[in-house]
Amino acid sequence: MKLPADFLRQDLHATRRSFLNTAASGLGGLALGSLLSQEGLLAAPAAGTDPLLPRQPHFPAKAKNCIFIFMAGAPSHLDLFDPKPKLNELHGQSLPESMTKNVRFAFIKKETAKLLGTKRVFKKYGQCGMDFSDLLPHLATRADDLLMVRSLHSDQFNHHPGQLLMQCGRGSFGLPTMGSWLTYGLGSESRNLPGYVVLNSGRGSSGGTTLWQSGFLPSTYAGVLFREQGDPVLNLANPAGLPPELQRAGLDTLRQVNQARYDLMRDPEIASRIASYELAYRMQMAAPELIDLSGESKATLEAYGVNRADPPNGGRGKQGETAQSFSRNCLLARRMVERGVRFVNIIYASWDHHSNLDKELTYNATVVDQPIAALIKDLKERGLHDETMVVWGSEFGRTPLGENRGGNENATGRDHHPFSFTMLMSGGGLKGGQVYGQTDEIGWGIEDKPVHINDLHATMLRCFGLDHLRLTHRFQGRDFRLTDVGGKVVEDWLA
Amino acid sequence: MNAFRRYHFLFLLLWLVTGSGWVFAAPDGVSFSRDIQPLLAQKCLECHGPDKQKGGLRLDVREEATKALESGEHAISPHQPDASELLRRVLSDDPDLKMPPKGDRLTSADAGTLRAWIQEGAPYSQHWAYAPLSRAPIPVVKDSAWGHNPIDRFVLARLEQEGIVPSPEADRPILIKRLYYDLIGLPPTPDQVAAFVADTAPDAYEKVIDELLRSRHFGERWGRHWLDMARYADSDGYEKDRPRPDAWHYRDWVIEAVNADMPFDQFTREQLAGDLLPGAAPGQRLATAFHRQTLTNTEGGTDQEQFRNEAVFDRVETTGAVWLGLTVGCARCHSHKYDAITQREYYQLFDFYNNGDETTYRLPPAPEALAAYEKAKTVHEEKAAALKRKMEAATLEAEAAQSAWENLQRQAEPQSTAAWHDLRLVSATASVSGVTLTPEKDGSLLAGGENPEGPVDYVLEFEAEVPKPLTGLRIEAITDPRLPGGGPGRMEGGNFVLSELSATLAGKPVAVASATADFSQKGWDVGTAFDGDLKTGWGISPQRGKSHHADFRFTNPVPAISPTRISVTLRQHYGQQHTLGRLRVQGITGDPSVLPPPAEMLVILALPPEARNPGQQKQLREYFQKKVHPPTVALADQLDQLAKAAPKPPGEEVRVLVQRTAEPRLTRILDRGDFLTPKEEVHPGGLSTLAPVKFRQDGRADRLDLANWLMDERNPLTPRVLVNQIWAHLFGEGMVRTINDFGVRGDPPTHPELLDWLAAEYRRQGWSRKALLRLILQSATYRQSSRHRPELDETDPTNRFLARQNRLRVQAEIVRDIGLSLSGLLSDKVGGPSVFPPMPAEVAALSYAGNFKWDNSTGADRYRRGLYTFFKRTSPHPNLMTFDCPDSNTTTISRQTSNTPLQALTLLNNETFAEASQALAVRALGWEVGDDASRITLLLRHCVAREPATAETSLFLDLLRRSKAYYDGHAEEASALTARHRAPNRPVSESAAWTAVARIALNLDEVITRD
């Protein structure tokens, strides 16, 4: 019987290395056997049918993988990264009307709003002297690896549109997300895991599944959610009572009958379907191995805090054992990157601290601080840091004004703030140990080097060797790109 | 005409293949609409176009562009590039002269194109899509024997030019399966296939078409195509994404309209402007829900005017995409870069919708619903009447019993009647420092100070003189404006959780036996507030902002001691500020379940019966009957319950559009689409590339004028677009491959004359969708085999010439429908509220703050067709999304088709499909056939319609043998695999083996492919 030559050859060529790596770690025996035994039959050249085959970027680049840690809900830059002594000094005072006149707020009542200083204590860390508040002691130890951008700004000040802008480059529906664009541009190195994976800790975000949609790109480029309960990937496990040997036997039957159809109809989509079943089968073995942390050393598990106790005072950021879940997701992200997954999006909501800022921010920061620091350190120790871009960020920042919703005088939180916020990045060809951009003395507007989210995306793509102007997809007569109609590469960030 | 001829002529010229596809090659190299118009639009028209004419120059109209300017120069001097100021300016480096003055210059290639075009005489031609429909004669072909109708002549003429012969007709089983999949989205049964194969009548094929066009499932299949464009969903979208329980009424309207073959012009008018039709019928008003499928943002802190504008943008852009095949959205911010759509024109269209207000409309009930209601009402009234009769009898008895009760009441207060006593507070402390408990005048305590996230215990010491044995304690949770949400708890919103109550009397612990509360939160019952478990407790959400009380009853009453030292510990361990804000503790004597008469009754009781006035007599009688006398109390309760269960009159409110008449909005161009920066005012109008809008009334314009304009017989674009959409559903690709772009950047049609012929035919047939479908389905072009032809791989790799049919993976909903239909599980109910087929709970939990619960449907609703699945925009059903179902946030003209491992996993393992394989196995085991081989053969015929090859049958037989061998030795696995469906009177192992086989059969590529 002849093989559907269209796919397997490509499949094997492109992935021999990672595939054998997987096999070497004791996996995929059957699938490997079934593929390799047929390799000799692969003769006729044909067009590739796997849209996720790795592709060359526009120009050489360091970054290969991205771990995007999305802090949905908007953390306060003023209490974490951007110390403003002047704000503390002016605590309790109103802003001049000229400053707020043309500004829209989600909840703040302008007439009576007062500036809210921070209770946090800031210190400088690393050789570069990067500021962190007392809430992030672990991340602070990575100061010299980190690029801290204090001058991000957004166009959206409501959560869902803001989150879409951060993920898709524009606050609209129906567009591909960052991970879609990256896998669309570069394919994926992994032949037995999805190229674009989503991990979620805590409660659901405002954007829900729209944050990993593929928009007008095929669903091949949509994020695949790895779950904490049940199968790591939806529908991964065979139906109860169906053993692996019958799964293989069934898939062999299926392959042969589908192939007979292919031989007759010559439709490459059939070959593609056969390939997708083989990948599904490999995923059935690779995904459980991926999430099995039993091979990780005690030191690693401890470093990430996989078994730590949940911090007190959860508030809206807590759902279940949030800290353990987040630690685990950071560790899983490293394991995914090791296995060739192109884009990992770790989502953690909610940082929407309209009230109770001090307690809830403390909780959230404690949840994320240790594991992210551990992740960066771990990536470095494993030599993965240069090829892995880690990004920490959200849809916008929070106001220097205290939130006085409904005229409440006792402000304990901050409102949505699109005019300036901070993000952290590391690795992947970025120049760490630098603080970029500057906000004004109360952390309201940007004084130096503003960076629009489109610029952030343009620069991220550049690190992956992609020209944001050339990575396009024609849809409804328009050449769409991740950077919408904007985007300027920030050269200063590049190592 | 001229433009079209030119175009058509070009079309006969050669095609070039490049790596990216087909490129149109014209002999002269320059096409105005393709090459020049976009250049002008991008670089010049902002200042020299319809809106502005700087220096008196307008470049989008040839007469203007070629006339002598104020300066005496000619911007364009036909055939004389060197005398054309336009070219000189775009090439100039002089900052005072160069054009465009700002932004990127023309590339040298663009300038060269411009020069060549002027050299040729600067012809302005109309883009093909806006040109009138051609009336090209039906072509003459060499092989006049091939084909069934004019479609085939157009297609064959083209094939003959290329020297290609068409493919043979597909085999009969494939043909009937194709019709079933395309028209109703369900597979034919083996009997239906056999009957068709055996039917030698010349109209056998047409009979199947007619039968399927009559099927009520036709409306589901073709209605769903329309719902993609309507961006139909069952929820609001955006963060909160609230459900829209009324949305399905519109979905059903579409299904019915399609089934009734409502002419498309009417279909258009009713959906865009049904409310404006004379004497608008309920269905016509409902139809305007088409444009209520826009998203609604109820996220906190949004500006509703911003999102109202967003919805209007969406209405304009959806209209542009669906009816005009154009991306008008670009012109929201600036005049279109490529297509002739100005920003002004965009806002002219915007104006039609700007005064369409969102409102709701109460649907008159369907006759069946009304009849059902009348029936239920009668039943209910009968029940009520029977109860009332019982009540009357019981009342008579009650009157007799009342005097005995009164006598009892006049005696000394009975031991058993409960009383509540205030206790004297000695001290109150909280376990967390900073939390204060301040006594209020009424004996209650107000919590203040710190509001910790962690556990807080209140320890309260009282001293009380209790006259009688103490039977329990009451905890009152009292509202207070100083508390968040008015209390009574300290959590934002006012909830609290009392995890555990314990008490000591005179230093000895007292055991609590039971507790009752006026209200307990679901899952937080007061009965768990003394169970020793700190994870449970008493909460009161959603009845926050109201006072509540709970009575804890001791196992053994504590004898009256005077004075009694009472210590009460209230443990509150839920955390997150779920603590009591204002509370009072009272001692209980007597039986809390036996209530004493209220004070006003005691007053009446104290009077001798003859001294009571009639009002008092009535008050006491009613009190006795409703609150005291068990038989009448029970009956009164039943009457109450019955009243609550009274059937509600049918008729639901649906979201619709209605014309705003009071204070109509003026439309202004919005600078860069920002609603906060309105510019000059505009009036309604269409696109200048099409015939002008005819207004029914001078000075007034509404959506009906817009609908009429779209369907105007002078409009050639819309019928082309509509025909192309339908063609694409039957061939996988449109004749215009860029289905959603008929602009200059889109592909020209593969068969321009056929497209125009069909467009004219569609209109001629009164916009009958069914007539158009019948025409296409009858063609030999449609009936061709879909087998790929390697000999055409070089010349026509993507089948533009239509030398064969295309194979198409069916849509997400149909993948489900086919699996369920083959297994016999599918419910064939048409319409009704959306349903919730099985989905893991944590998928729904991913929606915002886990605010959505997906309750799996049961019974027949578990097996409804895919299009009835409740569509939650921020967390849609994964089975749909995995198979490329659109997210319905914006209009979808054509779906993507991907081929992913997640699809494989879904078909192999998902609950729905796993269940289908069990049911299919049961079905197969029920067939009366001889041996396993015959059963396998029938199973495969059942799944793929065609006769399986021997090799295929033997592969499946082999799988069956292996499966049997396994399940014979694994009883537990066999019963697990057949958990939901198992053949009666057969060994479980056999059901299991056949399930394993049926599962693979259902996964065959052919099952989910329209061959």
Which of the pair, B55 or A307, is modelled with greater confidence?
A307
Which of A219, A243, A280 comes nearest B896 by C-beta? A219
User: Does B968 lie at the interface with A, CB-CB under 8 angstroms?
Assistant: no
Q: How confident is the model at residue B636 (pLDDT cuts 50, 70, 90)?
A: confident
Q: Where are the domains of chain B?
A: 31-124, 263-364+658-715, 370-412+614-644, 419-595, 911-1010
Sign of the torsion angle spanned by Cα atoms B506, B509, B512, B518: positive
In the predicted model, what is the mean pLDDT of residues B775-796?
Answer: 95
Q: What is the DSSP string of A293-307?
A: GGGS-HHHHHHHTTT
Question: First-to-last CA distance in chain B?
Answer: 39
Closest residue in A to B885 (Cα) is: A219
CA distance B867 to B487: 45
- Would residue B133 be called left, alpha or beta, if left means φ above 0 and alpha means ψ between -120 and 50 degrees? beta
Q: Is the pLDDT of residue A171 over 70?
A: yes
Q: Do residue A107 and residue B951 have CB atoms under 8 angstroms apart?
A: no
Nearest C-alpha neighbor of A338 from the set A33, A30, A31, A67: A67
Contact A431, A462 (CB under 8 A): no
CA distance A435 to A140: 13
Instruction: Give the per-residue pLDDT at B24.
Output: 33
**How many beta carbons lie within 10 A of that of residue B196, not counting itself?**
20
Cis check for the bond before B95: say yes or no (omega within 30 of 0).
no
Q: Do residue A283 and residue B952 have CB atoms under 8 angstroms apart?
A: no
Its CATH architecture, for the domain B419-595, is Sandwich (2.60)
User: Does A495 lie at the interface with B, CB-CB under 8 angstroms?
Assistant: no
Q: Do residue A250 and residue B842 have CB atoms under 8 angstroms apart?
A: no
Name A45's Cβ contacts closer than 8 Å, sequence gap at least 6. Answer: A5, A9
A415 CB neighbours in chain B (<8 A) are 301
| Residue of A103, A190, A214, A253 to mutate, testing the B interface (most B Cβ within 10 Å of its Cβ) | A253
CA distance B584 to B1006: 72
CA distance B275 to B282: 9
Name B176's Cβ contacts closer than 8 Å, sequence gap at least 6. Answer: B188, B192, B193, B196, B197, B208, B945
Q: How confident is the model at residue B415 (pLDDT cuts 50, 70, 90)?
A: low
Instruction: Give the per-residue pLDDT at B998.
Output: 98
Which of B330, B899, B978 comes nearest A276 by C-beta? B899
Contact A393, A352 (CB under 8 A): no
Q: How confident is the model at residue B378 (pLDDT cuts 50, 70, 90)?
A: very high
In the predicted model, what is the mean pLDDT of residues B985-992?
Answer: 96
CA distance B722 to B94: 49
CA distance A412 to A400: 12
Instruction: Give the per-residue pLDDT at A49.
Output: 60
Contact B616, B509 (CB under 8 A): no
The mean-pLDDT minimum among A309-318, B300-309, B844-853 falls in B844-853
Query: In what helix (H) or strand (E) does residue A171 lie, and over which residues does it extend?
Result: none
Q: Is the pLDDT of residue A266 over 50?
A: yes
Name the residue with tokens 């663009």.
B110
Closest residue in B to A156 (Cα) is: B302
Contact A147, A15 (CB under 8 A): no
Per CATH, which fold does A65-230+290-493 belong to?
A: Alkaline Phosphatase, subunit A (3.40.720)
B295 CB neighbours in chain A (<8 A) are 173
Alpha-carbon torsion angle B637, B643, B644, B648, nearest 10: 170
Instruction: Give the per-residue pLDDT at B413.
Output: 56
Name B965's Cβ contacts closer than 8 Å, sequence gap at least 6. Answer: none
Task: Point out which residues pair with B356 in neighbouring strands.
Answer: B659
What angle do helix axes B248-259 and B217-229 make, rounded to 10 degrees? Answer: 120
Q: Is the pLDDT of residue A300 over 70?
A: yes
Nearest C-alpha neighbor of B549 from the set B562, B560, B537, B540: B540
Q: Is the pLDDT of residue B112 over 60?
A: yes
Q: Provide the percentage of residues in chain A whose pLDDT is more than 90.
A: 72
Per-residue pLDDT of A201-242, as tens digits, reads 988 888 888 999 999 888 889 999 998 777 899 999 999 999
**How many beta carbons lie within 10 A of that of residue B613, not counting itself?**
10
Q: Do residue A160 and residue B238 have CB atoms under 8 angstroms apart?
A: yes
Contact A50, A269 (CB under 8 A): no
A228 CB neighbours in chain B (<8 A) are 842
Instruction: Give the per-residue pLDDT at A29.
Output: 30
CA distance B155 to B167: 12
pTM: 0.77
User: Does A284 lie at the interface with B, CB-CB under 8 angstroms?
Assistant: yes
Instruction: Give the per-residue pLDDT at B594.
Output: 63
CA distance A395 to A417: 9
Q: Is the pLDDT of residue A21 over 60?
A: no
User: Does A194 lie at the interface with B, CB-CB under 8 angstroms?
Assistant: yes
Instruction: Give the per-residue pLDDT at B595.
Output: 65
Instruction: Give the per-residue pLDDT at A177.
Output: 97
Task: Point out which residues pair with B852 in neighbouring strands.
Answer: none
Per-residue pLDDT of A119-166, as tens digits, reads 999 999 999 999 999 999 999 999 999 999 999 999 998 999 999 999
CA distance A260 to A3: 9
Which of the pair, B565 or A164, is modelled with greater confidence?
A164
In the predicted model, what is the mean pLDDT of residues B816-832?
Answer: 97
Closest residue in A to B910 (Cα) is: A235
Contact B1002, B917 (CB under 8 A): yes
Q: Look up residue A420 and give its two tokens.
A: 């300036």
In the predicted model, what is the mean pLDDT of residues B381-391?
Answer: 92
Query: In what helix (H) or strand (E) does residue B934 lie, and over which residues does it extend?
Result: helix B932-944
Instruction: Give the per-residue pLDDT at B21.
Output: 28
Q: What angle do CA A443, A449, A453 make, to 5 degrees?
A: 85
Name the residue with tokens 């209770």.
A119
B328 CB neighbours in chain A (<8 A) are none
The mean-pLDDT minimum among A274-283, A288-297, B11-20, B301-310 falls in B11-20
Q: Do residue B906 and residue A235 have CB atoms under 8 angstroms apart?
A: yes
Which of A208, A239, A274 comes nearest B875 by C-beta? A208
Contact B32, B328 (CB under 8 A): no
Burial tier of B522 (Cβ tally within 10 Å: 0-12, 13-18, 19+): exposed
CA distance B538 to B499: 6
In the predicted model, what is the mean pLDDT of residues A167-179?
Answer: 94
Q: What is the DSSP string of B954-985?
A: HHHHHHHHHHHHHHHT-HHHHHHHTSS---TT
A476 CB neighbours in chain B (<8 A) are 321, 327, 329, 740-741, 893
Per-residue pLDDT of B52-104, as tens digits, reads 888 889 998 899 899 988 888 899 999 999 999 999 999 888 888 889 888 88
Alpha-carbon torsion angle B350, B353, B355, B357, nearest 10: -140
Q: How confident is the model at residue A407 (pLDDT cuts 50, 70, 90)?
A: low
Q: How confident is the model at residue A104 (pLDDT cuts 50, 70, 90)?
A: confident
The mean-pLDDT minimum among B8-22, B576-590, B977-991 falls in B8-22
Q: Look up residue B591 and give its two tokens.
A: 């039986």
Q: How confident is the model at residue B28 (pLDDT cuts 50, 70, 90)?
A: very low
Contact B356, B704 (CB under 8 A): no
Burial tier of B300 (Cβ tally within 10 Å: 0-12, 13-18, 19+): middle
Q: Is the pLDDT of residue B699 over 50?
A: yes
The mean-pLDDT minimum among A405-414, B487-496, B587-596, B932-941 falls in B587-596
Instruction: Give the per-residue pLDDT at B590.
Output: 80
Task: Point out which residues pair with B565 in neighbouring strands.
Answer: B463
A203 CB neighbours in chain B (<8 A) are 845, 849-850
Nearest CA-CA distance, residue A439 and chain B, Å: 25
Task: Point out which residues pair with B456 in neighbouring strands.
Answer: B572
Contact B354, B316 (CB under 8 A): no
- Asked if the ipTM is above 0.95, the reply is no
CA distance B88 to B97: 9
CA distance B994 to B986: 11
Instruction: Give the per-residue pLDDT at A18.
Output: 35
Sign of the torsion angle spanned by Cα atoms B512, B513, B519, B524: positive
Instruction: Give the per-residue pLDDT at B15.
Output: 30
Q: Do residue B1005 and residue A261 have CB atoms under 8 angstroms apart?
A: yes
Q: Do residue B889 and residue A210 have CB atoms under 8 angstroms apart?
A: yes
Say which DSSP state B35 is in: I
Arithmetic mean of pLDDT over chain B:
90
Q: Look up residue A265 and give its two tokens.
A: 């109809």
A160 CB neighbours in chain B (<8 A) are 238-239, 297, 299
Strands B538-539 and B564-572: unpaired
Q: Look up residue B518 and give its two tokens.
A: 């006026």
CA distance A333 to A291: 10
Instruction: Give the per-residue pLDDT at B702.
Output: 94
Strands B500-505 and B564-572: antiparallel
The mean-pLDDT minimum among A330-334, A465-469, B411-415 falls in B411-415
Nearest C-alpha neighbor of B498 from the set B551, B461, B545: B551
Contact A394, A211 (CB under 8 A): no
Q: Do residue A279 and residue B904 have CB atoms under 8 angstroms apart?
A: yes
Contact B124, B32 (CB under 8 A): yes
Nearest C-alpha neighbor of A118 from the set A84, A149, A148: A84
Nearest C-alpha neighbor of A95 from the set A442, A337, A396, A389: A442
In the predicted model, what is the mean pLDDT of residues A390-416?
Answer: 89
Distance of CA B127 to the CA centre of its chain: 37
A363 CB neighbours in chain B (<8 A) are 453
Per-residue pLDDT of B828-857, as tens digits, reads 999 999 999 998 877 777 777 777 788 899
Q: Do residue B790 and residue A416 have CB atoms under 8 angstroms apart?
A: no
Per-residue pLDDT of A238-256, as tens digits, reads 999 999 999 999 999 999 9
Q: Is B470 helix (H, G, I), strand (E, B) or coil?
A: strand
Alpha-carbon torsion angle B481, B483, B488, B490, nearest 10: 170
CA distance B877 to B885: 10
Q: Alpha helices of A268-414 — where are they, by DSSP H?
A: 268-291, 298-304, 322-338, 357-381
Name the residue with tokens 């023309």.
B106
Instruction: Give the per-residue pLDDT at B564.
Output: 76
In the predicted model, what is the mean pLDDT of residues B750-754?
Answer: 96
Nearest CA-CA distance, residue B63 and chain A, Å: 29
Which of the pair, B966 or B650, is modelled with greater confidence?
B966
B 400-459 residues with CB < 8 A to A: 452-454
| Residue of A109, A254, A282 to mutate, testing the B interface (most B Cβ within 10 Å of its Cβ) | A254
A353 CB neighbours in chain B (<8 A) are none
Contact A349, A325 (CB under 8 A): no
